[in-house]
Amino acid sequence: MKFVFLLIFSASTAFAASTLKEKAPKLLPSPLNGLITHKTTLSEVEKKIGKAHHIDGSDYYWERDGFKYALKLSFDNKYLLDSIHYTFASEKPSLDKLGKIDTKKLVPYSANGKETKYMVLKENNFEVVIDPLTKNIYSVKVP
C-alpha cells in the first residue's frame, strides 16, 4: 500500500513541476519564444532582438514597452543563454494561462529585500510572479 501511495504522490509531484516547466516559457512574448537556455548563444540573441541596452557582468538587459529593464538574459562564461527573466510592462497575461495552480505553493515575493504586493510560484527554478489583486502574471523566469 505504501508503494502505491508513493508512486501516485511521485507522479502527481512530477506532473505539477513539469506543468510550470512547460507553461512558463510559453508566456514569453513571441520574439523570445525561440530562445532556448543552454543552447542559444549571445550572438543569436542579438540577431533576433538586437543589442542589449545595459550590460552588468553576465547579465544583459533590454528595454521593452518603455520599461527599462523588462528583459534580463543571463549568459554563462561560454556566452550560452543561462536564464531568461521577463517582466511584462504593458499588457500582462491572465493567470488563467497557467491553468490550475496549487495556491499552497504561492509565497510572498520580495524585491531588493522588501516585500511587495506580488506572490511567486516556484518550481524547479522556474518562477512566475503573480499580482493576486488583478490575477495577472507580472513576470516569468526560465532557467
Q: What predicted TM-score, i.e. pTM, was given to this entire model?
A: 0.82
Q: How confident is the model over 93-103, as pLDDT tens digits?
A: 999 999 888 88
Could you tell me the residue ranges of all domains in the chain? 2-142
| Pairing state between β 126-131 and 59-64 | unpaired
Residue 115: CA atoms inside 13 Å, Cβ hemisphere, count?
Answer: 4
Q: How confident is the model over 58-91, as pLDDT tens digits?
A: 999 999 888 989 999 999 999 999 999 999 988 8
What is the arithmetic mean of pLDDT over 20-37? 90
